[in-house]
Amino acid sequence: MSCLRTDDIQMYLDGELSTSRQLAAESHFAQCNDCRRLLEKQQHDIKVLMDDLDAILPLENQEISPFKAPSISKHRKLSRWWWTAAVIFPLAFGIVFSWNQPDDEQQLLMQQVALDMLYESDLNAQWQSGEIQVVELEYH
């Protein structure tokens, strides 16, 4: 086995190498003074670093705040949205339609148009059934 890289040594120290590679690394350390020295140096650096890290990290507070269990489930939240939508949409439609409501004059005009159409269709039916005849007027 060739000499180990620093990341291999790191993995060896953390026990993250596969069993076969771990065994191969062990036998290499037994033979290679350079790698063994590197292993010891890296081990020392990590220990110093981890000890110092403890000193500078926020303190681990042992006071545990009580857990506040959620009272509203997601499903209920969704229902609440649907309820809101059910109220808002009819209101919005009502406002839009009342905004476009025709005034009295427009309504009268529409009624007149409808009556005219009925009258014309009635005349047409009478003519088709022969009840009335078209008389050509002569102009003098």
Partner 1 sequence: MSYLYRCTMNFDQIYQTYYPELLQFARFMTNHREWGAEIVQESFVKLFEASRRGEYVENPRAWLYRVVRNHCINHNQRNRLVLSDDQAIYDGVQQADYADSEMLNERQRQLKRTISELPRQEQMMLFLYRKQFSYKEMAEVLQMNPNSVGKTLSRIIQKVTQKIKEVNHELFEN
Q: For binding to partner 1 (CB under 8 A), which residues are involved? A: 6-7, 9-11, 14, 16, 42, 44-46, 48-50, 52-62, 64-65, 67-70, 73-74
Q: Which is nearer to partner 1, 2 or 129 (CB)?
A: 2
- 136, amino acid identity: E
Structure tokens at 44: 């020392």
Is residue 20 within a helix (H) or strand (E), and if so which, with residue range?
helix 19-31
Residue 24 amino acid letter = A
Minimum Å gap between C-beta 19 and partner 1 is 15
Q: How far is the CB of 68 from partner 1 (least distance, A)?
A: 6
Residues 125 and 98: their CA atoms lie apart, in Å, by 38
Identity (one letter) of the amino acid at 95?
Answer: I
CB of 98 to partner 1, least distance (A): 41
Name the residue nearer to partner 1 (CB basis): 30 or 53.
53
Cβ proximity to partner 1: between 23 and 46 the closer is 46
Q: Are 48 and 38 in contact (CB under 8 A)?
A: no
Q: Which is nearer to partner 1, 61 or 129 (CB)?
A: 61
Give the separation between CA 97 and CA 62, rounded to whole angstroms: 63
Q: How far apart are CA 38 and CA 10, in angstroms?
A: 10
Smaller CB distance to partner 1: residue 68 or 140?
A: 68
Min CB(111)–partner 1 separation in Å = 60
| Residue located via tokens 């109220």 | 87
Query: What minimum distance in Å lies between the beta carbon of 32 and partner 1?
Result: 18
